[in-house]
Amino acid sequence: MTQIDISTTAPARKAMIDSQLRTSGVNEEFVLARMNAVPREDFVPDEVKPVAYMDRAVPLGNGRFLSAPLVHGKLLAEARPTADDSVLVVEGGTAYLAELARPLVGSLDTVSAADAAAGKVKRKNYTLMLIDGAVETLPDSLTKRLAEDGRIVTGMVTRGVTRLAAGRKVGGQVALQTLAELGIPVLHDFDQLKGWSF
């Protein structure tokens, strides 16, 4: 992807922070600082760079999207990553979320949604898992990579409605609580298998 002069998009990033994030309750300084520092346009194809800061998901092709700024802002605010965290980011189509989180944490690995859904993850015992999209199911092959008392922040889709959700692993089980209804792109790699009904 073509790198562009970030000074030319600084006004768009400021507008994103002031008009999309702050007005929707995302005021954590670490979130605003990271989202101001990372140019969204560097993570989308050239033809959609002019709309990289719009308040909805940016289509990337092949059914993938860059989530709206508010989704990433709320996800990071809920996750509250720290330097003690070892993080796994399940990518939704770009490396944007990983780039937002990387300087805030001790270590960070990324995996595609397809590989995560298939259980192809590098190692176990991540203390924080961030999923850049909405999923219908969380496979055991993925949640077993989360350390006991580890946190997870993801989008969940139920009956076509997407919501931000967060939870912890306790007693070997991950329980999620939905937090807010948001327009989060669906990661179809995690769709439930459809069974027969009569």
Residue with tokens 């912890």: 168
- Strand pairing of 126-135 and 86-91? parallel
pLDDT at 1 over 50: no
Mean confidence (pLDDT) of the chain: 91
Q: Which pLDDT belongs to residue 124?
A: 78
- The pLDDT tens digits for 159-174 are 989 999 999 999 999 9
Under DSSP, is residue 179 helix (H, G, I), strand (E, B) or coil? strand
Query: Quick one: what percent of the chain has pLDDT higher than 70?
Result: 93
Task: Indicate the domain borders of the chain.
Answer: 6-190
Positive or negative, the Cα torsion across 128, 81, 107, 56?
Answer: positive
Rounded Cα gap, residues 53 and 41, in angstroms: 8
DSSP 112-157: EHHHHHTT--S-S-EEEEEEEEEES---HHHHTTEEEEEEEEEEEE
Rounded Cα gap, residues 107 and 123, in angstroms: 12
pLDDT grade for 111, boundaries at 50, 70 and 90 = very high
Strand order in the sheet with 146-158: 107-112, 86-91, 126-135, 146-158, 161-170, 173-181
> What are the two backbone dihedrals, phi and then psi, of residue 139, each rounded to the nearest 5 degrees?
-70, 145
6-190 has CATH 3.40.50.150 classification: yes
- The pLDDT tens digits for 172-197 are 999 999 999 999 999 999 988 765 54
Rounded Cα gap, residues 29 and 101, in angstroms: 14
pLDDT at 3 over 70: no
